[in-house]
Amino acid sequence: MTDLVTLDLGERGYEVLIGDGAWTIARRLAAVTPDRRYAVMVDTRVLQLHRDFIRDGLADLDIAGDPIEIPEGESAKSFGLLEIVLSQLLDRGLERRDAILAIGGGVTGDLGGFAAAIYKRGIDFIQVPTTLLAMADSSVGGKTAINMPQGKNLVGAFHQPRLVVADFAFLETLPRRQLLAGYAEIIKAALIGDADFFDRLEYSNRDSLSALHLQAHLKSAIEFKARVVEADERESGTRALLNLGHTFGHALESESGGALLHGEAVAAGCALAFDYSVRLGHCRENDAHRVHEYFSLVGLETDLSRLQGAPYSAEAMVERMRHDKKNAGGTIRLVLARGIGDAFIDDAADEADLINFLKDKAQ
Ligand SMILES: NC(=O)c1ccc[n+]([C@@H]2O[C@H](COP(=O)([O-])OP(=O)(O)OC[C@H]3O[C@@H](n4cnc5c(N)ncnc54)[C@H](O)[C@@H]3O)[C@@H](O)[C@H]2O)c1
Ligand 1 centroid, distance to 47 Cα (angstroms): 14
- pLDDT confidence of residue 31: 67
pLDDT category, 281, cuts 50, 70, 90?
A: very high
Cβ neighbors of 231 (< 8 A, separation 6 or more) are 238, 239
Ligand 1: centre distance to CA 78 (Å) = 15
> Which of the pair, 361 or 57, is modelled with greater confidence?
361
Bridge-based pairing state of the strands 163-166 and 124-129: parallel
* Amino acid (one-letter) located at 145: A
Which of 42, 43, 125, 324 to mutate to test ligand 1, by most ligand atoms within 8 A of the CB atom? 43
Q: Is the pTM for the entire model greater than 0.85?
A: yes
Confidence of residue 212 (pLDDT cuts 50, 70, 90): confident
Cis? peptide before 175, omega within 30° of 0: no
Catalytic residue numbers? Answer: 121, 143, 185, 225, 235, 239, 243, 246, 250, 262
Question: pLDDT tens digits, residue range 14-29?
Answer: 999 999 989 887 766 6
CATH topology of domain 3-173: Rossmann fold (3.40.50)
326 pLDDT higher than 70:
yes
Q: Looking at residues 44-64, what average pLDDT do you find?
A: 90
According to DSSP, the residues that pair with 334 across neighbouring strands are 346
106 lines ligand 1 (CB under 6 A): yes
Regarding the beta carbon of 38 and ligand 1, being less than 6 Å apart is answered: no
Q: Give the tens place of pLDDT for each residue, 167-190.
A: 999 999 999 999 999 999 999 999
Contacts with 79 (C-beta within 8 Å, 6 or more apart), sequence order: 146, 148, 155
- Report d(CA 231, CA 36) in Å as an integer: 31
What pLDDT is recorded for position 30? 65
Q: What is the mean pLDDT of residues 276-291?
A: 98
> What average pLDDT does the structure give for the chain?
94
Q: Is the Cβ atom of 188 under 6 angstroms away from ligand 1? A: no
Q: What is the pLDDT of residue 273?
A: 98
Beta carbons within 10 angstroms of residue 225's beta carbon:
25
**pLDDT the model gives residue 328:** 76
Q: Residue 113 C-alpha to ligand 1 middle, in angstroms?
A: 13
d(CA 91, CA 212): 44
Nearest ligand 1 atom, CA 261:
15
- What one-character DSSP code corresponds to residue 43? E
Q: Which CATH class is domain 176-362?
A: mainly alpha
pLDDT at 256: 95
- The answer to whether residue 338 scores a pLDDT higher than 70 is yes
247-256 pLDDT, tens digit each: 999 999 999 9
15 lines ligand 1 (CB under 6 A): no
In the chain, CATH 1.20.1090.10 covers: 176-362
Could you tell me the distance, in angstroms and rounded to a whole number, from the CA of residue 102 to the centre of ligand 1?
A: 12
Please give the backbone phi and psi of residue 49, each rounded to the nearest 5 degrees, phi first. Answer: -80, -25
Q: Which of 29, 42, 57, 18 is nearest to 161 (CA)?
A: 29
Domain with CATH 3.40.50.1970 in the chain: 3-173
> For 323, what's the count of Cα atoms within 13 Å in the CB-facing half-sphere?
11
Instruction: Tell me if 248 sits within 8 A of 275, measured CB to CB.
Output: no
Residue 286: what pLDDT?
Answer: 98
